[in-house]
Amino acid sequence: MRVELENLSKSWDGVVGADNITLDIADGELVAFLGPSGCGKTTTLLMVAGIYKPTGGTISFDGQIVNAVAPKDRGIGMVFQSYALYPHMTVFGNISYPLRLQKLEKDEIRQRVQQVVDMMGIGDLLDRKIAQLSGGQQQRVSLGRALVKEPQLLLFDEPLSNLDARLRLTMRGEIKRLQKDLGITSIYVTHDQIEAMTMADRIAVMSKGVLQAYDVPEALYDRPKTLFVAGFVGNPPMNFFDVEIVQADGDFRAKSGGIDLVIPSDRAEKAAAVKGKVVMGLRPEDVDLVDDTSPATEGLTLTGETTVVEPLGREDLVQVSIDGVEMRVLVDKTKGVRVGDNIELAVNTTKIQLFDPETEQSLLWA
């Protein structure tokens, strides 16, 4: 099913929950709503579900406006962070509940529930009470209850947040596989960018009720359109510097305090029109420690003193002070960087991002 949101807004007594959201979801697509808590992603989801009434704009399913359609008539299934299983019913009672509400024949109910639990691998739990299940099992029951209706649209509200890290990994793959196999259009709300990047076909990044960007994961990472998206997508987050772009000897250079970098002209040209300072973004992984294997090149290095070293296992996350400006970089742990070392970093300037400090819009990917 195709879903279109047009200028969708929701506010309560002047408090804005979602502001002018416009996006479309293709049939069979899995779209993630990504953003920090309070960004309006759950509000938007609940409007799609029909639990909240929009204060403005429209929601359409397959071209039909459904604003006034009751949740039960929207053909949706929903999975909750808290699972929202009915504690006084058994697993069978929970999964069969939507079908019982549709007043289906007993035999058909049994058959369809069986089909779903077989698919979810929870067939032996049918007579258990909810309190007797583990978190992962509860999550599967919750998913089963959403699927048993054969919904046109699946809504996930942070479904994996309450699971431990390993189980989350397993369930992530399972949900993705199920969704692709069944081809059900899905909206997946999460604050976890890794979840969004790995599962979603497209990601809608939201902040303060506003849709910041809506694109495929790689595009969000490589070509962030706003300062917020650049800072939010990617872990550890992108470093930002206030720099001035100056043109000298045919080169474009970004200058500020201890920073003096040559920027590729295709990127810098777009930024040169801005008078005064611009915001330069540099991901922690786009630098390398200067040593024998990667020699320094004039205009492509930064030097500074390490202030913090956090071992992450495969790499070290190193905080470097460059003439008073703090920057985080990822360094191969075999290099053995220690606190207090003076290090020289080779910068991959072809990955540099540039933003207008006023509008916070990208100067490269308008």
Contacts to another protein by CB under 8 A: 1, 46, 49-51, 61-62, 64, 66-78, 80-88, 97-98, 101-102, 115-116, 119, 145, 147, 149-150, 152, 155, 182-184
Nearest partner of 239 among 315, 365, 351, 342, judged by Cα: 351
Nearer Cβ to another protein (51/308): 51
Nearer Cβ to another protein (98/304): 98
Strand, helix or coil at 364?
coil
Nearer Cβ to another protein (122/254): 122
For the CB of residue 29, give the shortest distance to another protein in the complex, in Å.
Answer: 14
Nearer Cβ to another protein (87/276): 87
Do residues 109 and 94 lie in contact, with contact meaning Cβ atoms separated by under 8 Å? no
Cα–Cα distance list, 64 to 18, 27, 74, 144, 187 (Å): 21, 14, 11, 27, 18
45 class by beta-carbon count within 10 Å (0-12 exposed, 13-18 middle, 19+ buried)? buried
For the CB of residue 162, give the shortest distance to another protein in the complex, in Å.
Answer: 12
- Token pair, residue 145, equals 């209850």
Nearer Cβ to another protein (72/338): 72
For the CB of residue 80, give the shortest distance to another protein in the complex, in Å.
Answer: 5
For the CB of residue 94, give the shortest distance to another protein in the complex, in Å.
Answer: 9
Question: Any residues with CB less than 8 A from the CB of 337 and at least 6 apart, and which?
Answer: 289, 306, 309, 316, 318, 331, 343
- Token pair, residue 47, equals 């409007």
For the CB of residue 171, give the shortest distance to another protein in the complex, in Å.
Answer: 18
Nearer Cβ to another protein (153/309): 153
For the CB of residue 76, give the shortest distance to another protein in the complex, in Å.
Answer: 6
For the CB of residue 317, give the shortest distance to another protein in the complex, in Å.
Answer: 36
> What is the spatial distance between Cα 346 and Cα 141, in angstroms, rounded to a whole number?
51
Region of residue 38 (phi > 0: left; psi between -120 and 50: alpha; otherwise: beta) = left
Strand, helix or coil at 113?
helix
- Token pair, residue 346, equals 């080779």
Nearest partner of 192 among 139, 229, 232, judged by Cα: 232
